[in-house]
Amino acid sequence: MQLIIDVGNTRVKAAIYKGDALQAKHHFALQDFSEEVGEFTGLYPIKKAIISSVGRLTDEQARSVQLRFPTIVLSHNTALPFTNDYGTPKTLGVDRMALVAAFVKAHPHKNGLIIDAGTCITYDFITKDGSYKGGAISPGLRLRYETLNRLTANLPLLEKQMPGSIIGTSTEESIHSGVVQGTLLEIDGAINHYKEHYNVDTVIITGGDAEFLAKRLKNSIFAHSNFLLEGLNYILTYQND
């Protein structure tokens, strides 16, 4: 069995896979990392582990895993199941690496666009011959709401909500329209562009806001909640191939 750990800015996702099959999954706060990982893994015969961290994982927290299992900490030096043609490969986020790996495993020989709708919205393009080309990064829904509140004097901080119309008839409705409708138009526009100019035939959306956005997009896409974890599992398995 393999232990998969995805460290975000404040939350951690941990999963255990047997081959390609998810056996268990657990979410917890980053500050509780060592204790929670110890309790979560206690009943499973884990052979190896992988850690992907975009958050502030300390060396001590990482060692709490490394001392128990052979562990890979994902970086630009890790062997990947695709060709990385990014112009600055050392700066490519480990979360984006994992998403591209998941796509290669699930949809080989396809031109693909992977959209991760989380704190940021990332777009990643990979060709059917397994070459990762790059993509885009823009603010996610929460960042857009918070920025409007933080950088203006009078706009309130709202929770995400689908507006009834693109025409807001109050300040709150106008914010929801600008944030949510604007994001949907951005994503649909990006998908249309990739389909027209790069022959993309498969689009995946994942991340915390994926479900909220997917059912409101005009384009046909696949929503997948565990895509990043599956990508990390594949990268870990790939190290022995």
Q: What angle do CA 221, 222, 226 make, to 5 degrees?
A: 145
Give residue-wise pLDDT tens across range 67-100: 999 999 999 999 999 999 999 999 999 999 999 9
96 is an annotated ligand-binding site residue = yes
d(CA 43, CA 65): 15
pLDDT value at 221 more than 90: no
Q: Is 6 annotated as a binding residue?
A: yes
pLDDT of 217 higher than 80: yes
Task: Kindly report, residue by residue over 137-178, the tens digit of the pLDDT.
Answer: 999 999 999 999 999 999 999 999 999 999 999 999 999 999
Query: Do 42 and 57 meet the contact criterion of CB atoms below 8 Å apart?
Result: no
Residue 69 to residue 63: CA distance in whole angstroms? 10
Mean pLDDT of the chain: 94
Q: Is 179 exposed, middle or buried, given 0-12, 13-18 or 19+ CB atoms closer than 10 A?
A: buried
Q: Which domains does the chain have, with CATH numbers?
A: 1-73 (3.30.420.40), 76-231 (3.30.420.40)
Q: What is the pTM of this model?
A: 0.93
Catalytic sites, residue numbers = 95
Say which DSSP state 208 is in. Answer: T
| Bridge partners, 72 (sequence order) | 50
Q: Please, which residues have CB within 8 angstroms of residue 198's CB and are 6 or more apart in sequence?
A: 111, 125, 127
CA torsion 190-123-215-13 (nearest 10°) is -170
10 among annotated binding-site residues: yes
Taking residues 123-133, what's their average pLDDT?
97
> For residue 238, what is the enclosing H or E element?
helix 227-238
